[in-house]
Each structure stands twice: as C-alpha cells, then as structure tokens.
Amino acid sequence: MKQYYILTYGCQMNTYDSHLMELLLEEHGYVQAGDIEHADVVIVNTCAVREHAVKRVLSRIDSLKTLKRKNPSLRLGIAGCVPQQLKARITKKRPFVDFILGPDNLKDVVMCAQGASGLFVDLNDTPLYSDLYPANGDFPEAYVSVMRGCINFCSYCIVPYTRGKDKSRRIHDIKREVEKLALKGYKRIVLLGQNVNNYDDHEKRLPHLLSEIAHINAIERIGFLTSHPAFFPIEVIDVMKEEPKIEKCIHLPLQSGSSKILRRMNRIYTKDHYRELINEIRTRIDDIALTTDIIVGFPGETEDDFSETMEMVNGIRFDSAYMFQYSPRRFTLASTYCSSIDTETRMRRLHELIRVQSEITRQKSNASRGRILDVLIIGENEKNYLESNAISVYNKRIVVQGRFESGTIRKVRIIDVKGWTPVGKPLQEHE
C-alpha cells in the first residue's frame, strides 16, 4: 500500500485542510506513513500570513530535496497559501517539487499523488467541503470549517490573495460533520472561518448556525472564530445566553488602537466603534472572555499611535492576545506604503505590548482564584501525569489536579495559578 506523509504549518484552518487531504488519500487506498522517510507521497501544507512563516516553510521544503534524491519515485507536493502566492518561487527555483496545490485545489491531491504534475492554483467560488467530512484531531476537541476565504482586503493581509472570496459551507453539511464527531465521542467543536461575521447559507447566518449546532445533544462545548469588529452580529450574544454550550469567549482582533492606523489598515471601524462594541457585549453578558490580535509597527505608526494601542489594551483588559510585528506581504496595499517602521522600533513596541498584556493575563488568572467552574477534560498534563489539562467555558486552559478521563466535565475550584494557568481542584460530590 502507498504511504503518505503531510507536514502542516499555520492556522487551524490549515490543519483542517490537511485532514481533508488525508481523507481523500485514504479513500483511494493510501495509508499514513509512520515517518517521512518511508512515505511515497509527501505534502507540505503551508502558511503565508507572515514572512517568517514563509521562510520556515521554504527551508523545510529545501531540506526535502535530499529525500527526493534518495527516493526519486517520491511524489513531493506543496499545498496551501505559499504556492498560491509564490508559484514561481516554488516551481522555477525548486524543480524537485512535483506538484503544487492552492487552497481551493486540494481535491486534486489524489490525482497529483498518482502522477499528475504541475500547478493547480485556481481560486474558485465552490465550497470545498460539500459532502466531505474531514474533521479529525485531538480528541475530545475538533475544529470544523464553516467557511473559507475572505475579501475584506485589510491592507496588510495576504488571505484575500491566497484564499479568495469567502465561501460558506451549507448548514446541513456542517451539522452532519458535527453529528459524526458527536457519534465518535467528540465533545468540543470550534467553528472556523477567516471572518465568521460573513457566514451566510441562504440568509442563515452565524447566530442561526450556532443555535443549530447547540442542538446536537452529545456536544458539550462550541467555540467559533474569527469575528470582525465591523458588522459583528450582536444577536450572537443572545444565542450565547440561551445556549450554555456556546463558549463565553469572543476572539475579536483589534489590530491597532489608533483610528488613523485602522483606516490605513482598511479595517472599516474606529477605535471608538471597537470600544462601544466591547461595552455593548459586556452589557449584554457580563462574564465574557475577550481575546484579540494586535499588529505593531504598521507603516506610519507613530509613538502616539502605539500609545493609543497600549491605552486600549490597558482599558479593555483582554483575557489574552496574539501579538505580532507587522510583516509586509507582496501584492497587499500596505506593502506599497512608505513610512515603514525600523526593526528595532517594531521589536521594542512588540516587547512592551507583550509585557503589558502578559501581566493582564496573569492578573486575570489570579482573579479567578476561588471560582467554581465546570471544565472539560482534554487530556493528561504533559508536565505532570498526576494532573489533567482542561478547558473552561471561557476558552481558558486550566490544569486540574488528578487524572480524569478526556471528554468528561468536572466541577473544580480554582485554588492556584502556575505561570498564567489557573489550577483547579475537583470538588467532591457534597461540595
């Protein structure tokens, strides 16, 4: 039997896409190779969101040249956003690569594994996953893609060029996939899309989708990402209040706290709008976790603009944040902007932001001492086999004292904090 090996880089959507390729290959008789050396087909599924990610991927691809030399019949393919963006850099500079597959062409994986060579990089408008249910992964959690692509054209972002227009998957396909996962015992589902505000299956939007998924009995927890602060469907909060299974956490990328920079980023909201949205959300539901993404060092970001970002971070007090320094991406509008910020300044701002946000995250974890929470056990703590890893309904990782079965829910009291992670003690029956 032919064996395949897939190396995955990037976001959860890429992991999901790799599961899609696995599913198709296995349907055609391929099996997963135990290690890369024994594979007949090797695929690198790539991410292009920042230059650093691209460099890592390209150097990994170059290291596979030796593998190909040792085994000339090996089929080597590169999939995802990097070949979609940099066709020539792969095909002209790396002739040892047999095929490339853009994010909308993953269904051609079998044909390529079997011998077709070349470029398969046509962005198109057909949802990729109808009648396919690739979700798989770390029991008891699974990610399920509900839409692909985005054409918001934030001026720094490569996604519109690599994944094209947003394409929503039909609700009945998503439900079927979640039901299949429920049957296998999965308990936590995270619905994925680059901008889930735009989810639209014949006028049925995100709030509707969430409540449909919440009706699937065996599923205990439902998360979703990523939301956009402009046109955020506030009815989501009402659904969240009605359906306790929906995690009380919204990932809402701020990107910058300066309205001037937000305009240059083409984010179509101002800092006041963002602040008002947060107030509205917190008024409707007081105990909600808010997480965010922030970019520092965007072209033209002055010390004052950066201070505005810090003010927002200090004022809103996010539960956690992904923080990046700006990385210019070819084709994007921002890559044509002058007034780029030097590396030293970008690094300094990033470190300052990380320092302040980490302290907020730590304080929030500390403030949770004494709280009683129902947490979902997701596995053994890799650092201490006498403890379990769990996740709260606020999408916060918790360490639980004791060994418990994955997929079960335990009531714990937070008694300590290790680093940034709250530690929970399971309650006895009578407590």
252 sits near ligand SF4 (criterion: CB under 6 A)? no
Report the partner that residue 228 touches, choosing among ligand SF4, ligand 5AD, none (CB closer than 5 to 8 A by kind). ligand SF4
CA distance 180 to 90: 37
Which position among 58, 90, 112, 150 is part of the footprint of ligand SF4 (CB under 6 A)? 150
Which x/- pattern over 285-304 shows residues binding ligand 5AD (rule: CB under 6 A)? --------x-x---------
For ligand SF4, give the closer residue by CB, 296 or 412: 296
Report the partner that residue 152 touches, choosing among ligand SF4, ligand 5AD, none (CB closer than 5 to 8 A by kind). ligand SF4
CA distance 248 to 282: 11
User: Which range, of 93-101, 148-156, 170-178, 281-289, touches ligand SF4 by CB under 6 A?
Assistant: 148-156
Residue identified by tokens 């927002």 is 312
For ligand SF4, give the closer residue by CB, 116 or 268: 268
* Residue type (1 letter), 93: K
Cβ 147 to ligand SF4 shortest distance, Å? 11
CA dihedral 143, 144, 148, 152 (to 10 degrees): -60
306 sits near ligand 5AD (criterion: CB under 6 A)? no
Burial of 304 (C-beta count, 10 Å sphere; 0-12/13-18/19+): exposed
User: Which range, of 56-64, 326-334, 341-349, 388-396, touches ligand 5AD by CB under 6 A?
Assistant: 326-334
Residue 375 near residue 430, CB atoms below 8 Å: no
Which position among 10, 160, 229, 253 is part of the footprint of ligand 5AD (CB under 6 A)? 253
For ligand SF4, give the closer residue by CB, 269 or 318: 269
**Secondary structure letter of residue 49 according to DSSP:** S
C-alpha distances (whole Å) from 224 to each of 92, 166, 206, 236 are 39, 16, 9, 11
Backbone φ and ψ of 180, nearest 5°? -65, -40
12 sits near ligand SF4 (criterion: CB under 6 A)? no
CA distance 285 to 424: 24
User: Which range, of 102-110, 131-139, 320-328, 354-362, touches ligand 5AD by CB under 6 A?
Assistant: 320-328
Other Cβ atoms less than 10 A from the Cβ of 40: the count is 17
90 sits near ligand 5AD (criterion: CB under 6 A)? no
**Which regions of 232-346 does DSSP assign to beta strands (E)?**
249-251, 289-296, 320-325
Strands 188-192 and 221-225: parallel
Cβ 48 to ligand SF4 shortest distance, Å? 11
User: What is the DSSP code string of 259-270?
Assistant: HHHHHHTT-S--
Restricting to residues 204-233, name those near ligand SF4 by CB under 6 A. 228
* Residue type (1 letter), 257: G
3 sits near ligand SF4 (criterion: CB under 6 A)? no
User: Which range, of 21-29, 153-161, 342-350, 383-391, touches ligand SF4 by CB under 6 A?
Assistant: 153-161
Other Cβ atoms less than 10 A from the Cβ of 93: the count is 12
Contacting positions for ligand SF4 (CB under 6 A) = 150, 152-154, 157, 159-160, 194-195, 228
Contacting positions for ligand 5AD (CB under 6 A) = 49-50, 156-157, 253, 255, 293, 295, 324, 326-327, 329
